[in-house]
Amino acid sequence: MALRLPGLDRLRDRYDVVIIGGGPAAFSAAIYARRFGMVTAVVADRIGGMLNEAGVVDDYLGLPDTPASKMVKLFYSHAKKYGVDVILDTVTRFRREGDHYVVETRRRRRTLARALIVAIGTRRRRLGVPGEDRFVGRGVSYCAVCDAPLYRGAEAVAVVGGGDSALEAALILSEYAKKVYLIHRRSEFRAQPYYIKQVRERPNVELVLNSVVVEIRGDDRVRSVVVRDVRSGELREIPVRGVFVEIGFEPFREWAVENGLEVDEEGFIKVNEWMETNLPGVFAAGDCTTMWKGFRQIVTAAAMGAVAAYSAYNYVVKVFGSTLEQR
């Protein structure tokens, strides 16, 4: 669930840097940008981004066993301490005008930025099978952390996928449902061994390997999932009350391309090691970029954000001589 945080600001007429997005990459960039003396805004449709959908974080240095919701609050209050303007809105487009970027939002706000940091994250990938769209919110879910409590005492639920998200979801759901079917299209998991070991030790998690979901069935809500064994072709209908689709994320390709950003074949924004994009003064950070694809962590997002802020600062000083605050 997205946090509702008070104290959101008005957009000023002009910024050194506008950061688009509200996840760990964006907030890390914001803190560094302020430390470099840049007048900074974060514009995001939700504070915390995809971190809102994580459970307990136990792999971020110095913060063991920390609920993700607490981390989101810590990131936000850290940025506020540094005087970052945080605006809840969606940037629809930006375009170059002279040596600035004009930034426009869904709520018809407009501001000028000397530099931009794009940290827009990704969205959840869908299965694309019959029944998926029909039962969204009625048994089909994309967020185990948000919806697992709805399945307390349920006879069975299914999780689809073989990465960190799917195995984490299976572990969370095994605390609520009597049985969890973990359906994966291969026999090997891509998830970290840490998760694989725990899943294998959970007595109420049944692995359904080498299997793909071909249909989600139900009446007013989900009643079963139909899977096909990819080796034998055999079909099996498994009665479940919920199907959690955890098969990864995809980038906002259209948004990036419409705003003139160069993307790779999957739609991730191309960056170099200094988080520079193809556009002058536009940097990118976090899951939306081509950097470290396949290893998306809070710490890697935060690292990219810090580097993007450093690069944005060097750019602002080179082009404008000083930051707005230093004038």
Interface with ligand NAP by CB under 6 A: which residues?
Answer: 59, 125, 127, 160-166, 168, 185-186, 190, 212, 246-249, 294-297
CB of residue 130 to ligand NAP, shortest distance in Å: 14
DSSP class per residue in 87-123: EE--EEEEEEETTEEEEEETTS-EEEEEEEEE---EE
Nearer to ligand NAP, 39 or 183 (CB): 183
Quote the CA–CA distance of 64 and 254 in Å, as a whole number.
37
C-alpha dist (Å) from residue 161 to 4, 79, 181, 252: 31, 35, 11, 21
Token pair 């970052």 in the structure block, residue? 84
Q: Which residue is nearest to ligand NAP (CB)?
A: 163
Token pair 């707005």 in the structure block, residue? 324
DSSP H helices, the chain, are: 24-35, 68-81, 144-147, 164-173, 193-201, 253-258, 298-320
**230, 178, 176, 191: which is closest to 208 by C-alpha?**
230
CB of residue 288 to ligand NAP, shortest distance in Å: 13
Nearer to ligand NAP, 139 or 163 (CB): 163
The DSSP bridge pattern shows strands 235-239 and 222-229 to be: antiparallel
Q: Is 99 a catalytic residue?
A: no
Nearer to ligand NAP, 38 or 145 (CB): 145
Task: For Cα atoms 127, 133, 139, give the angle at the middle one, nearest 5 degrees.
Answer: 90
- Tokens standing for residue 169: 């979801």
Catalytic residue among 16, 85, 147, 164: 147
Catalytic residue among 143, 164, 287, 288: 143
CB of residue 212 to ligand NAP, shortest distance in Å: 6
The rounded Cα 280 to chain-centroid distance in angstroms is: 25
Nearer to ligand NAP, 185 or 228 (CB): 185
Nearer to ligand NAP, 143 or 282 (CB): 143
The DSSP bridge pattern shows strands 110-118 and 100-105 to be: antiparallel
CB of residue 257 to ligand NAP, shortest distance in Å: 22
Q: Is 146 a catalytic residue?
A: yes
CB of residue 75 to ligand NAP, shortest distance in Å: 17
Catalytic residue among 9, 45, 89, 146: 146
The residues that are catalytic are 143, 146-147
